[in-house]
Structure 1
Amino acid sequence: MKRNSKKHLCGAITKRTVRKVLLSNLPTDILSQILSWLPINDAVRTSILSREWKYVWRGHTNLTFDSATMRKQYFKASFGYGFINATEFISRVDTVLRQHSGVEIKHMEVKHMLHNKHANHVDRWINVAIASKTKELIIDLNGGFKLSLSRDISRGIYRDKGEPYNIPPQLFSADNGPYLQRLELTSVSLHLPADFKGFLNLKKLTLVDVSITDEDVQCMLSRCNLLEFFEIAYCRMVTSIRMPKPLNQFKHLLVDKCPLLQVIELNCSLTVLEYTGTVVPLIFTSTCRLKNILIKFMTCHAALDYMVTGFPSTLPSLETLTLHCAQRERIILPGKTFIFTHLRHLRLELVLLGNKKRHTDVLDYAYLLEVAPFMEKLELLMWLCCQRRPYCKEDGELRSRPPHHHTHLKFVHISGFFGHKDQVELALHILRSSIMLEKMEINPRVEIADCDESEKQFYEREQYVDGHRVATEYVCKADHRNVVDA
């Protein structure tokens, strides 16, 4: 017992000694680096700990100014951090920057609803970023409410939020070029100066709800030779995205809901492309190394038709394709199509529309086994927006397509399976044709993410039990390898 007490006492002394070393003997630059892992408001509060701690936070290298870090209350209320008006926000940011050392700011982020009438203040903050050789600069004058921009674009709404702030020309000066590695601009106006030479080390560029011309977009892309990632979203003036000059480091392009966009033309070693919008031509001036494509069409267009006729034929390296489409009419399948020789993973999100009668035919998607002969994983996420009862024998014999032996498909996932006749026929065709199939999952639930929740729940209540019953009765009974999981 004494031995345990002595051991406990020694442990307590050791802990106090370690704690004393951590708090008292660390160099100021180390303490400053540790504080940089905290939000700026928490870092500032450490100044009241002692005289030694009063100025440590001033070397904070990660400055994020938003409603959370500039809030009055320390604890988050149940309804959020609360609204901070522009005057309060500006005053608090100015207070922090006035006391900050202004040296080695690696990351500066301003996220609040501000307009061009606040230009003097935002200009001053950007000048601080330039003077401190900031590597990452984020100016979001929509307050981080990206969802509101998405809804406005989808509904064709343009809200008058005041004249957008004009990015000052000094941000694009040659003095700032060598340091900036990441630039994100939201809800601003941007006009490049005539002498813009580019950002020598910029790797990530994001333009969201930015008033910018096609020429300035092309200029920025062509003069940032180390660019790896480019996102452009909700830019209402942009009609084309062109990259005539090869960018050897460029890997990832994200284009989201630019309503006037008509063409995307690229000359680069791109490996990932994400696109949301209307159907536009994708032009690759050289053989492309694209491996991963995610496309979401906002207007009705048959997924199968786009894959076999509208897709670029210069994509020999494509391995993963995600395609979201809404379809009303059935298409006529062509006799000869482009074969995806490298495609391994295909994910289709299909919204099949119809009122009292649906004109589409799910069995048409059996054609996927022919156009993607080396596919290993297939995901079919369906939402059938129409009135149709689950299959029963009174609906006639189940159709079958000519047998097609697929030697690579191993995993199939089907959701939104309401038990309609053509869904049963497609599931049976895939089951019988895929000789290497290891697992087929069939789920009546709707898994397409952006569908209206109330409508999804209505369809699930009406269709879930029937979908499960039909899958069990017709698909599982035809499964002689025990690979179907309904």
Structure 2
Amino acid sequence: MDQTATVNKRVGDADSLHGQTLRYSIPHLPEDIWCHIHSLMPMRDAARAACLSRAFLRSWRCHPNLTLNFATLCPKACSKELCSNIDRILRNHSGIGLKTLELNLGSVESTFPYVDSWLQFAVTPGIEVLVLILYKKYNFPCSVLSDGVRNSIRDLQLDTCVFRPTSELGPFRRLTSMDLSLVRITGDELECLLSKSLALEQLVLYDCKEITSLKIPCVLQQLSCLTVISCCRLQAIECKSSKSLDY
């Protein structure tokens, strides 16, 4: 055997050994364990892993945390590309097991016509955290707050929205934190919402210009922190709760 053939054989043996190492270095674990490992990754890393691993590709369809913004998806892209990427991610997601949805479109002056359909798909029973940040005023559809959603959601953050909760909207049984920034909501609408959020512990209001008076219902016995900033038309805060608040 000549020298060239010997070298080629050694390279082939090394490749074969390397292939075995790659094949057996990844343990054979139950799918639920792979899903749990995948869920602990930051979203960008989770998406990359799904491109490289069949196990992670399956778990990507039920990844529990989706953070959809320019930073995680396409920091150098235009709003059209961002919209396309978000649409593709949500279409590839099963909608099952989603716990956290952060949809941050507030960093660019643009409209996103598919927000309604994105929320209708992603905001489902079992979700615990919903963060929606937009650049232009958006009419938040209360229809996405179904009975199942209201039973599971713990943290609601809305930014630059029109939010008109009605008296027909049922109770939020697990909601502990609510942050409304640049949200168009009246004092009466907010009081109605608060009276149905008995577990609420923290309330933040920033630049909510339609609120002229704020009434904290007596049923909010868990509320311990109230933050009000730049609500320029707010004239009075009436607290009927027996628990002392940190302002």
Q: Which TM-score band applies after superposition, normalised by the shorter structure?
A: 0.7 to 0.9
Q: How is 1:23-422 mapped onto 2 (pairs within 5 angstroms)?
A: 23-71=26-74, 81-82=75-76, 84-113=77-106, 117-119=111-113, 121-142=114-135, 162=136, 164-274=137-247
Deviations 1:192-241 (A, max 9, x none): 13411221211111100001111111111111111111111111111111
Per the TM alignment, residue 95 of structure 1 is displaced from its structure 2 partner at its CA by 0.8
Contact 1:172 1:193 (C-alpha < 8 Å) held by counterparts: no
Measure, in 1, the Cα distance between the counterparts of 2:78 and 2:209: 27
Per the TM alignment, residue 246 of structure 1 is displaced from its structure 2 partner at its CA by 2.8
TM-score normalised by L of structure 2? 0.82
Deviations 1:26-67 (A, max 9, x none): 222222222222222221111232444432322211111112
**Where does residue 320 of structure 1 map in the other structure?**
none
* 2:112 partner letter: H
Q: Which has the higher contact order (CA 8 A, sep 6+)?
A: 2
Contact 1:206 1:230 (C-alpha < 8 Å) held by counterparts: yes
Measure, in 1, the Cα distance between the counterparts of 2:165 and 2:192: 8
Measure, in 1, the Cα distance between the counterparts of 2:188 and 2:171: 14
Deviations 1:11-32 (A, max 9, x none): xxxxxx9x957x3222222222
Contact 2:38 2:56 (C-alpha < 8 Å) held by counterparts: no
Per the TM alignment, residue 173 of structure 1 is displaced from its structure 2 partner at its CA by 3.4
After superposition, the CA RMSD in angstroms is 2.4
Measure, in 1, the Cα distance between the counterparts of 2:109 and 2:183: 13
Deviations 1:434-478 (A, max 9, x none): xxxxxxxxxxxxxxxxxxxxxxxxxxxxxxxxxxxxxxxxxxxxx
TM-score normalised by L of structure 1? 0.43
Per the TM alignment, residue 68 of structure 1 is displaced from its structure 2 partner at its CA by 1.3
Measure, in 2, the Cα distance between the counterparts of 1:20 and 1:231: 51
* 2:82 partner letter: F
Instruction: Give ranges in structure 1 of 5+ residues lacking alignment.
Output: 1-16, 72-80, 143-161, 275-486
Measure, in 1, the Cα distance between the counterparts of 2:110 and 2:161: 8
Per the TM alignment, residue 98 of structure 1 is displaced from its structure 2 partner at its CA by 0.9
Measure, in 2, the Cα distance between the counterparts of 1:185 and 1:69: 20
Contact 2:216 2:239 (C-alpha < 8 Å) held by counterparts: yes
Measure, in 2, the Cα distance between the counterparts of 1:263 and 1:52: 56
Distance 1:184-1:233 versus aligned 2 partners, 3 A rule: same
Q: Percent identity?
A: 31
Distance 1:190-1:116 versus aligned 2 partners, 3 A rule: farther
Per the TM alignment, residue 272 of structure 1 is displaced from its structure 2 partner at its CA by 4.5
Measure, in 2, the Cα distance between the counterparts of 1:193 and 1:85: 37
The structure that has the greater radius of gyration is 1
Q: How is 1:385-464 mapped onto 2 (pairs within 5 angstroms)?
A: none
Question: Would you say how many aligned residue pairs link Structure 1 and Structure 2?
Answer: 225
Deviations 1:249-269 (A, max 9, x none): 111111111111111111225
Distance 1:85-1:271 versus aligned 2 partners, 3 A rule: farther
Distance 1:54-1:219 versus aligned 2 partners, 3 A rule: same
Greater helix share, structure number = 2
Distance 1:129-1:51 versus aligned 2 partners, 3 A rule: closer
* 1:171 partner letter: V
Contact 1:140 1:185 (C-alpha < 8 Å) held by counterparts: yes
Measure, in 2, the Cα distance between the counterparts of 1:117 and 1:137: 20
Measure, in 1, the Cα distance between the counterparts of 2:34 and 2:181: 36
Per the TM alignment, residue 138 of structure 1 is displaced from its structure 2 partner at its CA by 0.6
* 2:133 partner letter: D
Measure, in 1, the Cα distance between the counterparts of 2:223 and 2:167: 24
Deviations 1:405-459 (A, max 9, x none): xxxxxxxxxxxxxxxxxxxxxxxxxxxxxxxxxxxxxxxxxxxxxxxxxxxxxxx
Distance 1:239-1:95 versus aligned 2 partners, 3 A rule: same
